[in-house]
Amino acid sequence: MKKKILYLFSDTGGGHRAAANSLISAVKRLKGDEFEQEAIDFFASGSSFLNLLARSYAPMIKYAPWMWRLLWFGVNNKVSLFLMENISSMFILGKMVSIFKEKAPDVIVSVHPLVNHLSIRAIKKTGRRIPFVTVGMDPVDLHKSWVSPETDVMVVATEEARNICIKEGLSPDKIKVLGIPIDPRFSDANDKDAAKAREGLKKGALTVLIMGGGEGAGNIYDIVNELNRSSLEMQLIVICGRNESLRKKIQDTKLRFPSKIYGFTNDVPLIMDASDIIITKGGPGAVFEALAKELPMIITSWLPGQEEGNIKFVLDHRIGRVEKDPRSIVEAIKDILNDKDIIRNIRNVKKPHAVFDIANLILDQIK
């Protein structure tokens, strides 16, 4: 019988599901179909009420980011977390015990901060010894909810996150600084000129990529307009995600340079291969994907609280620029082009093989 790996996530943003899928892909690359793997949405599987609350994340960060900021900081303390965990347990703990008994995994991997403490309690109630691995997806400002002293292994992306774990009482020997899991395709080496040719763009020409996640968030259209008004010699790729109105608006704009406009696509690693600079939001996935592909980045938006540490990380390590005003984008690009150290800085901090390192760590927990 195959050994089984169970991944726990919640669809509060697409990054957690993507992390689970990335680890599944990495294990398959390493071991083929030797292991059975399954990812479940913790709240959707366990409680319709908690799932409803989880689904409020997307509209909150879109329409009321100030509310998200209050919530993020409001529960970033032990008292609030204790109350939240115990209230949540009334809705979901029994269901999770049943799920763990039914699935009978040989190791459980969490890629979401709100499932760790409850999962460990549920594991104890099964009466089985199931190794529990936590993969922290906040690279720098690790929220306290990620850290459970009873986890078997805690994977973090940076030394800053490691220090938070130690401060929160986690034994240093349980902490592994490996990076965050991104699609294994970001670790694949590809020829940049060949990638540009595949996109129908000129070889050797400066290629700027603009993207805003699955929803095409950020001032993408305004940024495109600023580039179009500039005299910068370049070509452009824009990924609009599911934002069809944005895609149509840009396609209807008369651009002075060669361009390729995408809606939602699963080919981001290949598109990054064709790019020289990326303009994006400050999510952990976007930052570490750009690093893996050695792309200097310009960060234009970020979530309050949760992603503010990512911005400091970009600036402290001099791997990109931060510009909220679309009118400053052209100068930021010129600044990056004149920065002779930026690619060296990126190579010093990138962890393109993190997903394989984490996958191997997970496999090591299986007896």
Nearest-10 Cα torsion for 148, 150, 156, 160 = 60
CA distance 333 to 47: 47
pLDDT band at 260 (very low <50, low <70, confident <90, very high): very high
C-alpha to C-alpha distance for 170 and 151, rounded to whole angstroms: 9
Greatest mean pLDDT range, 133-147, 202-216, 286-300: 286-300
Predicted confidence (pLDDT) at residue 88 exceeds the cutoff of 80: no
Give 189's contacts (C-beta < 8 A, 6+ positions apart). none
* Spatial CB neighbours of 363, under 8 Å, sequence gap ≥ 6: 27, 30, 31, 35
Can you give the pTM of this predicted structure? 0.88
User: What is the length of the chain?
Assistant: 367
CATH classification number, 4-179+353-364, choose in 3.30.565.10, 1.10.3660.10, 2.40.50.140, 3.40.50.2000: 3.40.50.2000
How large is the C-alpha radius of gyration of the chain?
21
pLDDT score recorded for residue 145: 85
The share of the chain scoring above pLDDT 70, in percent, equals 85
> Residue 186: what pLDDT?
94
Q: What secondary structure does DSSP assign to 27-65, as a single string?
A: HHHHHTTSSEEEEEEHHHHH-HHHHHHHTTHHHHHHH-H
Residue type present at position 366: I
Residue range 270-282: average pLDDT? 95
Domain ranges in the chain with CATH number 3.40.50.2000: 4-179+353-364, 186-349
Q: Stretch 316-327: mean pLDDT, rounded?
A: 94
Give the range among 94-98, 163-167, 192-196, 328-332 with minimum mean pLDDT. Answer: 94-98
* Average pLDDT value over all residues in the chain: 88
- Per-residue pLDDT at 49: 47
* Closest residue by Cα to residue 45 from 138, 122, 127: 122
Alpha helices by DSSP H, listed for the chain, are 15-31, 42-46, 48-54, 57-63, 65-74, 78-103, 116-126, 159-167, 192-198, 220-229, 244-251, 268-273, 284-292, 308-316, 329-337, 342-349, 354-364
Structure-token pair, residue 13: 């943003």
Q: Which amino acid is at 223?
A: I
Beta carbons of 42 and 8 less than 8 angstroms apart:
yes
The CATH fold assigned to 186-349 is Rossmann fold (3.40.50)
Token pair, residue 117, equals 């403490």
CA distances from 121 to 85, 94, 322 (A): 10, 10, 41
CB 13 within 8 A of CB 307: no
Instruction: Give 306's pLDDT tier (boundaries 50, 70, 90).
Output: confident
Distance CA 270, CA 132 (A): 33
Q: Which residue has the higher pLDDT, 225 or 12?
A: 225
- Which DSSP string corresponds to 331-346? HHHHHHHT-TTHHHHH
